[in-house]
């Protein structure tokens, strides 16, 4: 009886081991493959990356210039409003 | 400087328009090809960023130890430009890396330290904006720590094993890539440095106007 249980346990383990082994991930990469050896379809085109990089520089600089211009404009508007308020107060006196 | 502002703006705009012509005429690098041309504005952006960090750090030292408000205005202007040029470097770098290394990002010493430097100055701006009273002095101390980080970022590629090119790439550019590459690089670097000077002048002017407005508000309340 005891022997039978041991055999069932071993058999179950063998049966379970098969799918576990079957779904093991493949072995890790042993060495890196330089990108020039890949087929041309897998290679990234350089021109869009270069153009994107240069366009980003321009876009960021233009945005920053616009942001300074906007902030400066707001300060000037506030200053004019303040001057107007002071002038009105002086006139009222 | 105010008289020079308009001619300098025109000059910088013309230099930025002409820079791609010079970059296009530079020879291709043997292993990276076309994408290596990002180098001609990626490195100048970092040069402008490092200059901005030093201006911010030194102005912060002057503000902390001498209490000069003018130095604080220069510091905040340079702090903002640090984040601006750092963002250019951090975006153009991965675009280059994707083709050259096959990955957008690598957590190696140079890239990680450069990101941390950028984050220190993002923190600097956040502290200044939302820190409340006394935050200018706290931010000044942050800028000094940020400045101390710059030499480590620069030499990191020579000290630690990283995927990033070494610092010797720029000094040897003339001998390795020829005079056209050298001319394109320094033309681009000069464009970025002039742009930095221009933007710093403009940003300091904004801070001066804000200080004037604050002074007027206080005078009105009194």
Name the residue facing A56 among B92, B209, B220 (closest C-beta).
B92
- Whether B31 maps to a domain, the answer reads no
In this predicted complex, what is the ipTM?
A: 0.89
Residue of B nearest to A72 (CA): B206
Does residue B29 belong to any structural domain of this protein? Answer: no
Print the domain residue range for B16.
Answer: 2-23+36-221
Would you give per-residue pLDDT tens digits along chain A (93 residues)? Answer: 778 888 888 888 888 777 677 666 666 666 655 556 655 555 677 888 889 999 999 999 999 999 999 999 999 999 999 888 888 887 877
Q: B48 to chain A, minimum CA–CA distance in Å?
A: 13
Residue B29: phi and psi, rounded to 5, are -80, 145
pLDDT digit string, tens, across residues B188-220 = 999 999 999 999 999 999 999 999 999 888 887
Report if residue A20 sits inside a domain.
no
Interface probe for B, chosen from A64, A70, A81, A87 (most Cβ of B below 10 Å), is A64
Q: Does the beta-carbon distance from B206 to A72 stay under 8 Å?
A: yes
Q: What is the DSSP letter of B160?
A: S
Q: Number of structural domains, chain A? A: 1
Is B78 domain-assigned? Answer: yes
Q: How far apart are CA B110 and CA A19, in angstroms?
A: 44
* Mean pLDDT on B104-132: 94
Average model confidence (pLDDT) across chain A: 81
Q: Total structural domains in chain B?
A: 1
What residues make up the domain containing A54? Answer: 45-93
pTM here is 0.82
**Rg for chain B, CA atoms, rounded:** 19
Q: Between B12 and A2, where is the model more confident?
A: B12
Flag whether A74 is in a domain: yes
Confidence bin at B177 (pLDDT 50/70/90): confident
């Amino acid at each position: 009886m005891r022997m039978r249980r041991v055999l069932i346990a071993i058999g179950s383990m063998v049966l379970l081991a098969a799918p576990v082994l079957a779904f093991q991930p493949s072995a890790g990469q042993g060495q890196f493959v330089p990108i020039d050896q890949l087929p041309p379809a897998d290679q990234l085109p350089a021109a869009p990356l270069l153009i994107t990089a240069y366009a980003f520089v321009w876009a960021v600089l233009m945005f920053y210039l616009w942001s300074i211009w906007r902030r400066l404009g707001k300060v000037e508007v506030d200053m004019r409003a303040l001057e107007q308020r002071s002038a009105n107060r002086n006139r009222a006196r | 400087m105010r008289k020079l502002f308009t001619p300098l703006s025109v000059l910088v705009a013309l230099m930025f328009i002409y820079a791609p012509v010079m970059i296009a005429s530079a020879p291709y690098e043997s292993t990276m090809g076309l994408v290596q041309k990002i180098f001609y504005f990626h490195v100048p952006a970092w040069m402008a960023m490092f200059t901005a960090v030093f201006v911010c750090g030194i102005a912060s030292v002057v503000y902390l130890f001498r209490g000069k408000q003018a130095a604080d205005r220069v510091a905040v202007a340079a702090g903002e430009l640090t984040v601006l040029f750092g963002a250019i470097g951090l975006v153009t770098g991965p675009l280059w890396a994707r083709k050259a290394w096959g990955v957008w990002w690598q957590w190696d010493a140079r890239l990680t330290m450069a990101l941390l430097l950028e984050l220190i100055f993002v923190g600097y701006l956040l502290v200044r904006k939302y820190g409340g009273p006394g935050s200018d002095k706290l931010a000044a101390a942050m800028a000094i720590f940020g400045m101390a980080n710059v030499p480590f970022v620069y030499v990191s590629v020579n000290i630690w094993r990283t995927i990033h090119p070494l610092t010797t790439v720029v000094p040897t550019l003339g001998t390795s890539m020829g005079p056209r590459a050298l001319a394109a690089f320094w033309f681009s670097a000069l464009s970025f440095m002039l742009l930095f000077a221009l933007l710093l002048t403009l940003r300091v002017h904004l801070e001066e106007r804000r200080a004037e407005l604050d002074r007027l508000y206080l005078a009105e309340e009194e």
